[in-house]
Amino acid sequence: MSPFYCCLAAAVLSLALALASASPAAASISVFAAAEPPADDRMPSPAEQFLRAHNEARAAVGVPPLAWNATIALDAQRYAGELRASCEARPVWAWGTDGVYGRNLYRGSGPRVRAGADASARWAEGARWYDRDGDSCAAPPGRCCGEYTQMVWRATTQIGCARRLCRCLGDTCPLELDTVAPPVEPTPVQFLRVHNEARAAVGVPPLSWNGTLQLDAARYAGELRTDCSLRPPPPLAARGTGDGAPVYGRNLFKAYGRRHTGAEVAAFWADGRRWYDRDAGRCAAPPGLTCGAYTQVVWRATTQLGCARRTCRNGVDTVAVCDYYPPGNIVGQRPY
């Protein structure tokens, strides 16, 4: 069982998502109904508790410590404030992180106000079930390893946390909700990194990020997310010269069932390399697939990139757009 898929049981709700399948726990989200821990009246501040527990877990596996980020803490505080109204988890698409950072959630019930150490200890418990060498998780029903792997994720460098008492909805209150939101690789960085890795593999110079192309890609992705159907861009969407020559190139992506990261989108296009024969200039892709997205990714004359991805209005599917300048896939030319 992958560590990034959890189970739903009658008494415990657990949800962990990995935004990049090649990078487990690039973001993870978890909610737990926790058992009652022993009381401790001499605890450090919640921020110190969260940070210390995370860094102890990271030190145990030789990963550098995290630093506290007040901006992330404010965002965690905002979302914890929303959740305290009902103390119930919401679908991932309503959480607003959009892949910019990861998130772990915790809910504990009982007569005592819970500390940040309680939530962190619950998440760190996943170390018992996670097999790093096999990248697998042997967690019991209702538990998972996703929140632990987010805690010890090497590329994560900063953390911000908040905890709030849930509003009294009955005799069982108060409930305590603790939220943590450590950052992962930003979406533009993911797009650019995977593109440049594909280009480096064939000896082509790297691309640079272009904010204007990104804005145009975001505009068109916003149009596509309405009905989540890919369609060719309008006649002038990537054009602007009187002779009809394209001003920039464009790759489109759509996936069903979950949110996909920028890295996953770009990797899907780069996968076309296995079907493209550069010497013969031919593509042996299976039905329904082409090499055109790949050749645009590695087109030597292209120097700039701008991308955007959006979750469709159904809250589950993903659309993504990348624009390229100068455009590739010029008839009669080879990509490199």
Is the pLDDT at 116 greater than 90? The verdict is no
Is the pLDDT at 210 greater than 80? The verdict is yes
| pLDDT tier at 228, thresholds 50, 70, 90 | confident
5 confidence band (pLDDT: 50, 70, 90): very low
What digits encode the pLDDT tens for the residues 253-307?
A: 988 876 788 888 999 999 999 999 999 989 999 988 899 999 999 999 999 999 9
In the chain, list all ranges with CATH 3.40.33.10.
46-159, 187-231+247-325
What pLDDT shows up at residue 17?
24
Distances (CA, A) of 256 to 151, 316, 317: 28, 7, 5
Q: Is the peptide bond before 174 cis (omega within 30 degrees of 0)?
A: yes
pLDDT exceeds cutoff 90 at 46: no
DSSP string, 109-173: ESSSPPPHHHHHHHHHGGGGTEETTTTEE-PPTT--SHHHHHHT-TT--EE-EEEEEPP--STT-
The position carrying tokens 């090499």 is 291
Tally: H helices and E strands in the chain? 8, 14
Structure confidence at residue 307 (pLDDT): 94
Residue 112: pLDDT over 80:
no
Q: What is the pLDDT of residue 64?
A: 94
Q: Does the structure show a pLDDT above 60 at 323?
A: yes
Question: What is the distance between the alpha carbons of residues 11 and 13, in angstroms, rounded to a whole number?
Answer: 7
Say whether pLDDT at 232 is over 60: no
Q: What is the mean pLDDT of residues 103-107?
A: 84
For the cut 60, the answer to whether the pLDDT of residue 113 exceeds it is no
317 contact partners, CB below 8 Å, separation of at least 6 = 228, 254, 255, 256, 257, 311
Residue 12 has pLDDT above 80, yes or no: no
**Which among 307, 328, 305, 331 is positioned nearest to 319, based on CA atoms?**
307
pLDDT, the chain, mean: 75
The topology (CATH level 3) of 46-159 is: Pathogenesis-related Protein p14a (3.40.33)
pLDDT digits (tens, 9 = 90+) for 152-165: 999 889 898 888 77
DSSP state at residue 178: E
Residue the block writes with tokens 């209150």: 173
Residue 40: is its pLDDT beyond 70? no
Please give the average per-residue pLDDT across 23-45, as a whole number.
Answer: 37
| The token pair that represents 248 in the structure block | 């920039």
* Fold assignment, 187-231+247-325: Pathogenesis-related Protein p14a (3.40.33)
Residue 168 has pLDDT above 80, yes or no: no
Q: How confident is the model at residue 199 (pLDDT cuts 50, 70, 90)?
A: very high
